[in-house]
Amino acid sequence: MSEARELNLDGDLRSIQLSKILLVVASYRASGILTVQGEDDIVAVSFVEGAMVTADALNQTVEEGIGRVLQKQGVLSADQFATASRDYQGGAAGSFGDLLVERGLVDRAALLEALRIQTLRLMLQILTWRQGEYKFYSGDEVSFEDGFVPITVSELLIHAVERLGEKVGLIGQLPDIERTYRRVPPRGQVQVMSEDGDGGVGIWITPDQKGLLLRLDGRQSAAEVGRELGLRTAETQYGLYHLLQFDLVEAVGKGASAPGADESVFSLNTADLGLRPPAGERAADPALAEVTIDPADDTAVRAEKERLKAEIFMPPSPGEIEARKAHEQTQETRVPAYAGALLRWIGPALAVLLAVGLAAGLVLRPSSMLLPFSWQENQRSTIDRQIRQSVFQRIDRAARTYFLMEAHYPDRLADLVSSGLVSDSDLRDPAGYELDYATDALSYRVRLRSGNQQIEGLGAAEAITGDFLVDPQFLSAAANAQAPLVLLD
């Protein structure tokens, strides 16, 4: 077990799932208060050494939550709850729970159990939040109900896997910790939270999971390894689940790749909660009504509490059940060991290739970016022709200006560039052809060339003919004109 350390966290739930925040808190064995501000509510969760001890919501007080649980359990009637609540709000000393115990309405064990169920229920609710902000305040002074058995993050996440699944980014089933597992070569660098920093490339595991990973050698069962490490059953099970998700371990023996198809995986997480599924029940069965919450194994009480438990823990909807079954089927055919570099880098690599391709397309033939399809060739050619026409007009304006200065057209297009009349970018053909320029001083011709091949029909020819400012023939015609004959009356 790692030592408790100070931790300060804050951020946005859009960029990281809350389950991961909880794992970080657990791996640091941090004490303090985590506040989560969602769209509709604000929840404060108190931690002692990385485990949850209370959870209080702004819009749902602890007393309301406890009262609801106790009423569902049949321990407290509605009238009793209303009276006690009124008295408590009227200024009764101590906590609401103390008041209930003092009045003999409930014994302390039932109160603590109700508090625990309420806390779990609230935590499962906020695990589904996709938007909001979180902040963790480190601090040793955390108040909670005496005798409250802390809820470990692993325990919470086990419930989350079972009841919420993909809604909170936790896919697959819980594994059977009575099986034996062994390490497999990791597909990426394995990093340990609180030991290797708080972020970076790699597969992140907690210190407890690290211990588990190092000792799973295919000989001992995971449960035995967990016991030797001093882990609770829930921690062992969730740790194993996490390692399997990242393909860091694999089951040994027949049917190893599909955990729990016919096994009671749910039986593994009952110790801390006092939950125990009946023998032979399938863990993946969404009808959690069979789950017991009373270690005393009293049949009548158990049946009532099973019903209550199912309601409190928000059993999945029929749609979710179907989706989960479908997912389980696909899990049976899943590709092994895809948690590595390939999955991590294939997307970015393809994206880079695409960006390079788009840039190349833009440079080679810009109009193909606007009109990419083969049937748009005519329209593409029209745009190219019009842009080319504007290039030729630009050249002509510059060349005529050059002519007004030098009395002849430039010998090369480079002369126009060097005299500052055009720039290189003005001379770029839209289809990427080279411009060949030829002049006989009084006219010029621009032809297009691709490599050594002349492109016929796309060039331009201009002359000074018809331009009274530069046309020498016009000049000579006017100079030689006869003086007008003037008739006098």
Partner 1 sequence: MTRCARFVPALVCLVLGCVWAPAATAQSELGGLELTAPVRQQLYRVQDAWQRWTRAHVQGDEAAASAELEQIELITAHLGMERQPDLASAAAAYGLRAADAGDFERAEAALEAARRLDEGRPETFFAASSIARAQGQYGTAISELARGYLALLEAPRSRDLWLDNLALWVLFSLLLAGGLFAGLLMATKGGSLFYDLARLYSPPLGRAAADALTVALLIWPILLPSGVLWLVLWWSVLLWGYGSTSERAVLILCWLALGATPALLAHQQRSVQLALVPPARLIDHLAADRLYGAVFSDLEVLRSLLPESPIVTELSADLHRRLGQWDHARAIYTELTQRPDRPARDTATAYTNLGVYHHRNGEYETAVAYFSRAADADAGLAEAHYGLAQAYAQLYEFESSHSAMAQAKALAPDRVDRWNAVGDSTEGSAVAVDGGLRRVGELRQALAELWRQPTALASPLDFWRRFRALSLSLGLILLAVAIHLVRRQVGYRTSYFEVSAAERVESRWVKALVPGLASAQREYGGLAFGGILLPVALAMAAVMRSMGFRQPVAFDPGPWPAVTLCLVGLVFVLLTRLAVASAETS
Which of 402, 479, 389, 390 shows the shortest CA–CA distance to 442? 402
Site size toward partner 1 (CB under 8 A) is 99
Q: Residue from 347, 453, 486, 489 that binds partner 1 (CB under 8 A)?
A: 347
- Token readout for 155 is 């325990």
- For residue 402 the two structure tokens come to 């050059």
Q: Candidates 53-61, 214-222, 301-309, 322-330 — which segment interacts with partner 1 by CB under 8 A?
A: 322-330
Least distance (Å) from partner 1 to the CB of residue 201? 5
* Cβ distance to partner 1 smaller for residue 81 or 402: 402
Looking at the Cβ atoms of 131 and 450, the one nearer to partner 1 is 131
To the nearest whole angstrom, how small is the minimum distance from the Cβ of residue 282 to partner 1? 20
Residue 262 or 467: the one with the smaller Cβ distance to partner 1 is: 467
- β-strands 434-439, 443-450 pairing: antiparallel
**C-alpha to C-alpha distance for 472 and 467, rounded to whole angstroms:** 9
327 near partner 1 (CB under 8 A): yes
Contact positions with partner 1 (CB under 8 A) in 163-192: 166, 169, 171
Contact between 317 and partner 1 by CB under 8 A: the answer reads: no
For residue 446, what are the contacts with CB-CB under 8 A and spacing of at least 6? 392, 395, 413, 435, 436, 437, 459, 460, 461
**The residue count for the chain:** 489
**214 is a site residue for partner 1 (CB under 8 A):** no
- Interacting span for partner 1 (CB under 8 A) from 72-80, 92-100, 206-214, 367-375: 367-375
- Residues in CB range of 198: below 8 A, 6 or more apart: 24
- Note whether 481 binds partner 1 by CB under 8 A: yes
**Token pair of 43, please?**
């929840």
Residues 390-409 that bind partner 1 (CB under 8 A): 390-391, 393-394, 397-398, 400-402, 404-405
Shortest reach from residue 484's CB to partner 1, in Å: 6
**How many degrees, rounded to 5, is the angle at CA 454 between CA 451 and CA 460?**
125
Q: Which helix (H) or strand (E) holds 456?
A: strand 453-463
The footprint of partner 1 on residues 95-134 (CB under 8 A) is: none
| Closer residue to partner 1, CB minimum distance, 93 or 486 | 486
For residues 11 and 20, what is the distance between their CA atoms, to the nearest angstrom?
12
Examine residue 318 and tell whether it contacts partner 1 (CB under 8 A): no
Does 330 contact partner 1 by CB under 8 A? yes
Q: Does 351 bind partner 1 (CB under 8 A)?
A: yes
Alpha-carbon distance of 365 to 361, in angstroms, equals 6
Q: Is 370 in the site for partner 1 (CB under 8 A)?
A: yes
CA distances, 185 to each of 199, 219, 342 (Å):
22, 17, 15
Phi, psi dihedrals of residue 217, rounded to the nearest 5° = -120, 10
Of 107 and 406, which CB lies nearer to partner 1 in the complex structure? 406
Residue 468: exposure state from Cβ atoms within 10 A (0-12, 13-18, ≥19): exposed
**Contact between 410 and partner 1 (CB under 8 A)?**
no
For partner 1, the closer CB: 215 or 365:
365
* Binding positions for partner 1, 421-480, rule CB under 8 A: 421-423, 425-426, 428, 430, 443, 461-463, 465-471, 473-475, 477-479
